[in-house]
Amino acid sequence: MLKKLHGRYYRYSVGLFLIIFYPCLYYFSRKPERYPIMNIFRKICGFLSSAISGIFYRITYQEPIDWSRTYIICPNHVSNIDITATTLGTKNNFHYIGKEELLHKPWLGLFFRTIDIPVNRESKMSSFRAFKKAEENLKKGMTLIIFPEGKIPKDYPPQLNEFKNGPFRLAIELKIPIIPVTCINTWKLLWDTGLERGSKPGICDIYYHKIIETTNMTVDDADTLKEQVFNIIDRKFKSGKI
């Protein structure tokens, strides 16, 4: 019962801060050159809504990251708070590819009509358009955060599900380095949306792995790269340790 109450409290806290900052977000969403400031407010909203719910983030980097470069960041996905975790852990201008349903969320829809990219994963045409837009953004220097599983898997306790090919082909074609990210224990605090099992306060451990360069790869290496990233994240996730 307490976890269910905490889950509701957390959801309302997210909504509260998005409402508070909505006028600023709306103003900065009017012109693309202002989009980086939207990410600043996204970080603030994410941190505050988590903090007043007793959820904090311990972010570890395997090696120093040069945030003047552009990356494709690939985290595993077991909880809605993985989004806040990667928002706080990524230190340059970034955008997400996410499910099309988020367009219709009262506050999150603002991001997916502007800085982020919605995709209908059941439509090959929608996926094609989404990755073409992501390609344009990457060429402009915007880091892409994409969950390669495509969704939060329904198995509990969670395990890593098969990765999609898209981000790895894109990384190789554009010669963009990949950063694997393991959300180690976010599911223990809030699994999926938190509606089924609730949530609880605690510290989320997030691990940014060593950068994988793609400069010398060809598209024939996409499956190998996908498997490499999968294995890196899977080992860390199964270990349950930083």
Give me the sign of the Cα torsion angle 60, 144, 140, 110.
negative
pLDDT surpassing 90 at residue 209: yes
Mean pLDDT estimate for the chain: 95
Cα–Cα nearest to 153, from 144, 163, 161:
161
pLDDT band at 1 (very low <50, low <70, confident <90, very high): confident
pLDDT surpassing 90 at residue 121: no
Rounded Cα distance between 39 and 194, Å, is: 24
User: pLDDT tens digits, residue range 35-88?
Assistant: 999 999 999 999 999 999 999 999 999 999 999 999 999 999 999 999 999 999
> At 127, phi and psi to the nearest 5?
-65, -40
What pLDDT, on a 0 to 100 scale, did the predictor assign at position 105? 80
pLDDT surpassing 90 at residue 232: yes
Domain range for 83: 2-239
Rounded Cα distance between 3 and 12, Å, is: 14
Please name the helix (run of DSSP H) or strand (run of DSSP E) that holds residue 214, with its range, or none. Answer: none
Cβ proximity of 95 and 241 under 8 Å: no
For the chain, list the strands marked E by DSSP.
55-61, 72-75, 94-99, 117-119, 143-145, 178-183, 202-208
Look-up of token digits 């996204």? 42
Across the range 119-140, mean pLDDT stands at 93
Amino acid at 33: E
Rounded Cα distance between 126 and 118, Å, is: 9
Q: Which residue has the higher pLDDT, 222 or 124?
A: 222
User: pLDDT tens digits, residue range 179-188?
Assistant: 999 999 999 9
Rounded Cα distance between 17 and 121, Å, is: 29
What pLDDT, on a 0 to 100 scale, did the predictor assign at position 161? 96
Look-up of token digits 């994410």? 46
What pLDDT, on a 0 to 100 scale, did the predictor assign at position 6? 96
Across the range 192-213, mean pLDDT stands at 95
Q: How many CA atoms lie within 13 A of 196 on its CB side?
A: 10
What pLDDT, on a 0 to 100 scale, did the predictor assign at position 107? 75
Percentage of the chain modeled with pLDDT above 90: 90
What pLDDT, on a 0 to 100 scale, did the predictor assign at position 3? 94
Q: What is the pTM of this model?
A: 0.96
Across the range 148-165, mean pLDDT stands at 94
pLDDT surpassing 90 at residue 196: no
What one-character DSSP code corresponds to residue 211? P
Amino acid at 36: P
CATH of the domain at 66: 3.40.1130
Structurally, the chain folds into a number of domains equal to 1
